[in-house]
Amino acid sequence: MPINKRISELMPELFELDPPSVDGNDPLVYTGLALRVSEAHMLPGGTRIPSPKVQIPGINLYGAFGGYCVLKEVATSSAKEFYRLLWTPASEFPTWIGSCGFDDPFEAVLRSYAATRFGATNVNNASMSAFVTLKDVVQLLKYGRLATELKTSDVSSTPITIPGDAPMQEAMRTMVSRNVRRLFLEGRGGEFVSDRSLIEFMFAPERLDKAREDPETWVDVKVSALATRLALPIDSVPMAEAARVIGEKPDDCLLTEEGKVVTRWDMVMKPWKAEKLTEVAA
């Protein structure tokens, strides 16, 4: 059953916050720093964002900046290119997400997630704009504006793992090629590193000093050197309960008794694709 309500009906408070943003004229190093200090995993872009080279039928695209675009460039660059890369304008590496209007059907948000494979959509209202993220949609489950009959056990997925002694650049390549934001460490239970783990490490002041002094060693470390997160254990519970306990950090996730992971993408997109995500009457 489709969700018939508009974005403005389900999220009337969307424009109350003033999120941080970055300027595409600035070098990639400044964008990385902004991502590191913010609680967002994607930030609005500013000027000089080029037109997208690839079109997605039925989806308006908007240029933003996220950890994914940074990791993709570092993962596919040689160590000799790192210094140049850090000082290249961020407008050369945008992430293309969906864009829609405040009075568009809420389904437009979910369709853009599915089409772009990113859990963020830009929403416009006159001169204002804001992102609707998967975290925001999970809040709608938490507060009973959306509902699903599926439980966490119905939407869980097998985690992607990596050895702790794997090189950091290998972790980036794995995230990009597998289109995941988390890699669980082999033999470490629910411990994982995320795109935020990598961004926080790469753009810490001491690592940027390293990049200036000896650029080729900037990311020359093992995965075990990164800060890890811990997935929260959870039984098979209704999605509304999972939404209440998943946490507030951008990379928070849950781990079932069977060792499977439940992310915000699992909680929202799997019920929606199964046509089991519904609006709740006011």
The CATH number assigned to the domain holding 222 equals 3.10.580.10
Looking at the structure, tell me whether residues 77 and 167 fall in a common domain.
no
Mean pLDDT for the stretch of residues 126-135: 90
Sheet containing strand 182-185, edge to edge, reads: 161-162, 182-185, 191-194, 229-230
What is the pLDDT, as a whole number, of residue 48? 62
What is the pLDDT, as a whole number, of residue 150? 97
What is the pLDDT, as a whole number, of residue 183? 97
- pLDDT per residue over 201-226, tens digit each? 999 999 999 999 999 999 999 999 99
Averaged pLDDT score across all residues of the chain: 92
Domain presence at residue 53: yes
Share of the chain above pLDDT 70, in %: 98
Mean pLDDT for the stretch of residues 24-28: 87
Domain presence at residue 123: yes
Containing structural domain, residue 263: 152-279
Distances (CA, A) of 64 to 96, 133, 233, 242: 6, 13, 33, 29
Q: Which residues contact 82 (CB under 8 A, 6 or more apart)?
A: 74, 211, 215, 216, 218, 219
Looking at the structure, tell me whether residues 168 and 235 fall in a common domain.
yes
Q: Rounded to whole angstroms, how far apart are CA atoms 154 and 239?
A: 10
Mean pLDDT for the stretch of residues 172-179: 93
What is the pLDDT, as a whole number, of residue 282? 67
Q: Which of 144, 171, 196 is the last residue of a domain?
A: 144
Looking at the structure, tell me whether residues 170 and 225 fall in a common domain.
yes
By DSSP bridging, strand 182-185 and strand 161-162 are parallel
Domain presence at residue 195: yes
- Total tally of structural domains belonging to the chain: 2
